[in-house]
Structure 1
């Protein structure tokens, strides 16, 4: 019997994994297929540590061109993805199967209809991140899992392609990028890139009446570095990417 290539190897937050992911990140521009496929497989293993996926309905908010679709289906999930950006949806050609164009802050999905609502690196790209998280909770079944990760503004990659100049302000970083390269960045501060903090995200997760807070931790770090999220200030810079896990009430 052929094993499942995505989840047969359980998620382990080791230093070796962190190093491998970092090396993979360096290939994002030169080998996007390899980069996003590897990230998707790792992300599905990470999610599978919180909830079973085989036979479960997964809604991926910000699914893009379909790399996560492949990984979720390999794990046995019933997958539905959405993204508001036509360019992202068609980055690999035609729209992927079960992919629709829609906004994360107005999900066209019935309340309490999915087992898992998932989002990877989208919150920092919407002007109302807490509305999007509320929507993710709304569409999830009672007892289901909400899993969202994002890049905090003050992390080294918070400004995305304008980093590290975002530390001097998002508008400054955007102007500098245009001045140096003669074009606007893909992620435009104030339009498609917004400052979201670790502290604000954790406060929302612990206060929302829609779901119980399960966990908040650095997405790419080894397990012995998870304590970072408990230290205000440090966590904004050193978390790099924050995961929120909630259980729908």
Structure 2
């Protein structure tokens, strides 16, 4: 699957629309796409990978299929078992304090987790800590002002998080899964880019719109516009010696 391409973006978008009814298809496709992106910069075969916050293990399964020694670290038991038994060797662990030595992995992977942690800087620091010098850190997240920033309440989060939650309950008869300030946080692209670029232990390999079919690297360079148009920011970082 090429990155970027209109066909790729359309396939991912169709899969997202079916996430609730066919999560297996959605996450297997997303896992293959993420693996393709990683392999543009480093081989997965033979690599030691930490999949941090990887839910039910779709990403770990794909990385292992490509020859990586991948281990899933997930803090939520319900997420681990949401779509069946977790992968062998899955670890119940907090991303703020991973049970790994410094520099233990070749690739540290985190997909759509950053917007669910209250302290993104500490979380990123932990991903960097466990990655060896020369290794890669893959971090992708949905920023708050993205059209999908409110998750299941989007795009009504633009009118306020509480109003969006109230509307969701009226429409569905049930409470939204995510609550701003509890398990969903307003993470912004500009602030995140400034934070990672200020560090002296990593280099930014690419900062791009994860799903855009064109202008993928240009969009995150546009202040203001990037907070809406990027949708989901992908950062690939390299750990420096």
Q: Could you say which TM-score interval applies, normalised by the shorter chain?
A: over 0.9
The answer as to 2:184 corresponding to 1:193 is yes
Give me the whole-angstrom Cα distance separating, in 1, the residues matched to 2:172 and 2:179: 14
TM-score by length of 2: 0.95
Give me the whole-angstrom Cα distance separating, in 1, the residues matched to 2:112 and 2:5: 21
Contact residue 61 and residue 87 of structure 2 kept, 8 A: no
Give me the whole-angstrom Cα distance separating, in 2, the residues matched to 1:171 and 1:206: 33
Contact residue 150 and residue 242 of structure 1 kept, 8 A: yes
Paired position in structure 1 for 2:28: 37
**What is the Cα-based RMSD across aligned positions, in Å?**
1.4
- Structure 1: 5+ residue stretches without partners: 1-8
After TM superposition, which residue ranges in structure 1, 4 or more long, deviate above 6 angstroms? Answer: none
**TM-fit CA distance, 1:179:** 4.3
Give me the whole-angstrom Cα distance separating, in 2, the residues matched to 1:103 and 1:129: 13
**Deviates further, 147-156 or 98-107:** 98-107
Query: Superposed, which structure 2 residues align to 1:24-173 within 5 Å?
Result: 24-173=15-164
Contact residue 138 and residue 210 of structure 1 kept, 8 A: no
TM-score by length of 1: 0.92
Task: Report how many residues are paired.
Answer: 240
**Deviates further, 124-133 or 96-105:** 96-105
Give me the whole-angstrom Cα distance separating, in 1, the residues matched to 2:151 and 2:229: 15
Contact residue 56 and residue 80 of structure 2 kept, 8 A: yes
Paired position in structure 2 for 1:4: none
- Structure 2: 5+ residue stretches without partners: none
Contact residue 174 and residue 189 of structure 1 kept, 8 A: no
Query: Superposed, which structure 2 residues align to 1:17-28 within 5 Å?
Result: 17-28=8-19
**TM-fit CA distance, 1:183:** 2.7
**Deviates further, 153-162 or 200-209:** 200-209
**Deviates further, 113-122 or 62-71:** 62-71
Q: Deviations over 1:166-196 (max 9, x none)?
A: 1122233223323443432112211110000
Paired position in structure 1 for 2:175: 184
**TM-fit CA distance, 1:201:** 1.2
